[in-house]
Amino acid sequence: MPLRIVLVLLLAAVPVPGFAHMILNGPHGGEVEDATPGPNLHIETVVKGSTVTVYLSDFNETAISATGVAGKIIVLANEKKDYFNLAPSGPNALTGQGTFTATPEMKALVTLTVSGQEQKALFSFLHPQ
């Protein structure tokens, strides 16, 4: 078998990473995920105690206004789900207070309504600050 064909077959067998974007240490120290369906919306989630702050930006890390954005979050910590709302708290931030006890293994699902469209992001690497 010619070398060219062997190389093509080897390259075809290499897994291609997905297009989802995740940053573990965003501009505010939180996990950053792409919103679904997007486009061009990053959501960064920062946890301090039982308070969650969500920051909005585009793919260039330019702040996106939180004015008029409605949000809710489900936090899974210590095998318990905590549901609470997020409200605008700054130019590009929404904040909410839960009853959960932060742990390094916690996860969260953020759902936002931005310009009438529902946006979601799942966070699996939340680290309390």
Find residue 128's DSSP bridge partners: none
Cα 113 to Cα 59: distance, rounded to the nearest angstrom: 18
pLDDT value at residue 81? 96
Q: 18-123 architecture in CATH?
A: Sandwich (2.60)
- Runs of H (alpha helix) within the chain: 3-13
Provide mean pLDDT across the span 56-62: 92
90-103 pLDDT, tens per residue? 999 999 999 999 99
User: Is the model's pLDDT at 84 over the cut of 60?
Assistant: yes
CA 22 to chain centre: 7
The arithmetic mean of pLDDT across residues 107-122, rounded, is 95
Residue 114: per-residue pLDDT:
92
- Per the CB < 8 A criterion, the answer to whether 72 and 81 are in contact is no
What is the pTM for the complete model shown?
0.81
- Could you give the count of Cα atoms lying within 13 Å of 4 in the half-sphere of its Cβ? 0
Per-residue model confidence as pLDDT tens digits over 9-47: 444 444 433 334 566 678 999 999 999 998 889 999 999
127/79: higher pLDDT: 79
Residues 6+ apart with CB under 8 A from 108: 45, 52, 73, 74, 75, 76, 122, 123, 126
